[in-house]
Amino acid sequence: MLDELNKLKYHQKLLLTIALDKEPEQYTYFHFIINHDLSEKDSKVTFDILHALGDKREGIYQKGKYQEVIASLLGDNPSVSMDTFENALLHVNIDVNPIYLIKSLRDQYIQVDLCNYLLEETK
């Protein structure tokens, strides 16, 4: 019950951000979170996974730098791929279409280069 209340508060905060902006359509990731009923924790884990994959792509990945859960999901030498991203999400029970998630992140200007890289890989 407390988790649901916290999720509701998080969604309310996102909705206020969207509603009070002059360009609400720019918040594609926030819409994705609300539409898929994701929690703030889910959002943070998603960012942590992306951050780790981005570091791996740039050659600066260090397993000890990330939360233990992320490091265990990705292992010592993760590949930077949509499959790795999707498997990590599923491992933490975030069952969403990873392509739509990546597109929503990119369209909200979050990790744009990495998102484009992952999307190109799926073609």
Give pLDDT, residue 61.
82
d(CA 82, CA 61): 17
pLDDT in tens, 21-31: 999 999 999 99
- pLDDT of 43: 96
Query: What is the Cα–Cα distance from 47 to 94, expressed in whole angstroms?
Result: 13
Task: Provide the whole-model pTM.
Answer: 0.90
Which alpha helices (H) appear in the chain, and where do they start and end?
A: 2-20, 28-35, 40-58, 68-74, 82-91, 98-107, 112-121
3-state secondary structure of 67: coil
pLDDT at 70 over 90: no
